[in-house]
Amino acid sequence: MDLSELTLDREGLAAAIACEDAAFEAALREEAYRVKLAAVGPEVYLRGLIEVSNICAKNCLYCGIRRDIRCQRYELSQEEVLATAQVAADLRFGSVVIQGGERSDKAFIRKITRLVRAIKSIDTGDDPPLGITLSLGEQSRDVYEEWFDAGAHRYLLRIESSNPDLYRRIHPDNHSYDRRLQALYHLKEIGYQAGTGAMIGLPFQTAEDMADDLLFYKRFDAPMIGMGPYNPHPDTPLTLSAAPYPSTVRRFALGLKMIALLRLLMPDINIAAATALEVLDPHGREKGLLSGANVIMPNITPREQMVKYNLYDRKTLNASDVEDLKEAGIVIGYGRWGDSRHFGHGRS
Ligand code: 5AD
Ligand code: SF4
């Protein structure tokens, strides 16, 4: 396939996703990088990722911290989270992501509300207060509203797959695609920048499914997307079912290609170079940025807990990786929220 033949409709996207020609894939990534520079500029925004707890009420069939997996559980204390957010402020990251397993007990909800307020009052010197993204799963509209009122302004909730049938195959019966979608619309109505995303290279997933994921992001008009390759975790039902999935090399190439295609489809949104890319290639994140991504989320969770937040087999990442990016000539947007231009707040 030649780049000049690419069309951004379902058929064209699926053909591009299915095409394994290395020259085509490289040309596509280069084109996406050019489009990114023209639409959002060279700057990369940082989000300090804090994994507050690996306790989860859900049981997703692919996830290494699913409810039924035996692993050591942890929950950071209020003080630990705040100290970690202070690290993000001191490093001038501009924003933090508070990520954790899904829980809807009152104590947890209130704790997050208090945390968001406290993070908002962290001293950031001459920079604006830290931007806060939450990634804490499906919650009721009221809870989303409570956290928004406390000061969170972005929320990440992946659709995981936009195909309801595939969603059903990778989740237990009591999980619901419709509920997930409803939650995404609630977030949007409340005024969050609602980010979503899907896994790439899942068992049973077709090129058309992946094309539909991209078109779903466009239809939802998402200001930010975080998607990444599926990485099998050895003790999960999806891995144990022995359902086939693409090779490591293919999943990595697909991960980059999806970023590139999305950049062409939605030139001015924020696209994260997901941690899952790094697991498949030591330079995964840089390659993600060179394929059209403009956000990275260095993990600043205290190391002792970070190793327990084991969604899939991965090496641990940390803030010092950011220095490597600078050496690679990547421009870092220090001390800025880095909101998506697409959202139209005009903030920086
Ligand atoms: N491989 C890749 N991504 C995964 N996630 C969970 N398990 C895996 C896995 N095995 C992703 C999900 C979730 C996010 C927090 O991590 O997409 O939304
Ligand atoms: Fe819980 Fe998220 Fe893992 Fe599902 S993917 S089990 S909701 S942490």
- Contact 276 CB / ligand 1 (< 6 Å): yes
Q: Is residue 305 pLDDT above 70, yes or no?
A: yes
Q: Which residue has the tokens 């539909």?
A: 212
| Model pLDDT for residues 201-214, shown as the tens digit of each residue | 999 999 999 999 99
| Model pLDDT for residues 41-65, shown as the tens digit of each residue | 999 999 999 999 999 999 999 999 9
Sketch out the chain's domains with CATH numbers: 31-337 (3.20.20.70)
Sequence-ordered alpha helix ranges (H) in the chain:
10-18, 22-40, 78-90, 106-120, 141-150, 164-169, 177-190, 207-220, 237-240, 248-265, 275-280, 284-290, 303-306, 321-327
CA 57 – ligand 2 centroid, Å: 8
| Model pLDDT for residues 164-198, shown as the tens digit of each residue | 999 999 999 999 999 999 999 999 999 999 999 99
Residue nearest to atom 6 of ligand 2 (CA): 66
- Contact 63 CB / ligand 2 (< 6 Å): yes
For ligand 1, mutation pick of 58, 62, 71, 310 (most atoms within 8 Å of CB): 62
How confident is the model at residue 330, as a pLDDT? 76
How confident is the model at residue 104, as a pLDDT? 95
For ligand 1, mutation pick of 196, 312, 313 (most atoms within 8 Å of CB): 312
Record the pTM.
Answer: 0.94
Produce one character per residue of 135-165: b if its CB has 16 or more CB atoms within 10 Å, e if not: bbbbbeeebbbbbbebbbbbbbbbbbbbbee
Comparing 315 with 131, which gets the higher pLDDT? Answer: 131
Comparing 348 with 23, which gets the higher pLDDT? Answer: 23
Query: What is the per-residue DSSP string for 16-74?
Result: HHH---HHHHHHHHHHHHHHHHHHH-SEEEE-EEEEEE---S---TT-TT-TTS-----
| Model pLDDT for residues 100-152, shown as the tens digit of each residue | 999 999 999 999 999 999 999 999 988 899 999 999 999 999 999 999 999 99
Q: Which residue has the tokens 């937040």?
A: 309
CA 232 – ligand 1 centroid, Å: 9
Asked whether the beta carbons of 46 and 95 are under 8 A apart, the reply is yes
When pLDDT is averaged across residues 12-21 and rounded to a whole number, the result is 98
Residue 101 CA, closest ligand 2 atom number: 8
Lowest model confidence (mean pLDDT) among 86-95, 141-150, 253-262, 300-309: 300-309
How confident is the model at residue 335, as a pLDDT? 76
CA 230 – ligand 1 centroid, Å: 7
Asked whether the beta carbons of 243 and 204 are under 8 A apart, the reply is yes
Angle between helices 207-220 and 248-265 (to 10 degrees): 30
Residue nearest to atom 2 of ligand 1 (CA): 230
CA 24 – ligand 2 centroid, Å: 35
Asked whether the beta carbons of 78 and 115 are under 8 A apart, the reply is yes
- Contact 103 CB / ligand 2 (< 6 Å): no
Residue nearest to atom 8 of ligand 1 (CA): 63
How confident is the model at residue 234, as a pLDDT? 93
DSSP conformational letter for 343: G
H/E stretch holding 194: strand 193-195
When pLDDT is averaged across residues 294-306 and rounded to a whole number, the result is 89
Asked whether the beta carbons of 252 and 284 are under 8 A apart, the reply is yes
- Contact 102 CB / ligand 2 (< 6 Å): yes
Confidence grade of residue 81 (pLDDT, cut at 50, 70, 90): very high
CA 120 – ligand 1 centroid, Å: 28
Measure CA 231 to chain center.
14
Q: Is residue 347 pLDDT above 70, yes or no?
A: no
Q: Which residue has the tokens 């949104």?
A: 269
Report how far residue 267's alpha carbon sits from residue 223's, in angstroms, rounded to the nearest whole number: 10
- Please list the residues that pair with 160 across neighbouring strands: 198
| Model pLDDT for residues 116-125, shown as the tens digit of each residue | 999 999 999 8
CA 239 – ligand 1 centroid, Å: 13
Report how far residue 84's alpha carbon sits from residue 98's, in angstroms, rounded to the nearest whole number: 11
Residue nearest to atom 16 of ligand 1 (CA): 311
H/E stretch holding 95: strand 95-100
Residues written for the chain? 348
| Model pLDDT for residues 22-45, shown as the tens digit of each residue | 999 999 999 999 999 999 999 999
Question: What is the pairing mode between strands 154-156 and 193-195?
Answer: parallel
How confident is the model at residue 328, as a pLDDT? 65
How confident is the model at residue 344, as a pLDDT? 57
- Contact 75 CB / ligand 2 (< 6 Å): no
Lowest model confidence (mean pLDDT) among 82-91, 178-187, 268-277, 314-323: 314-323
How confident is the model at residue 346, as a pLDDT? 41
Q: Is residue 345 pLDDT above 50, yes or no?
A: no
Comparing 31 with 346, which gets the higher pLDDT? Answer: 31
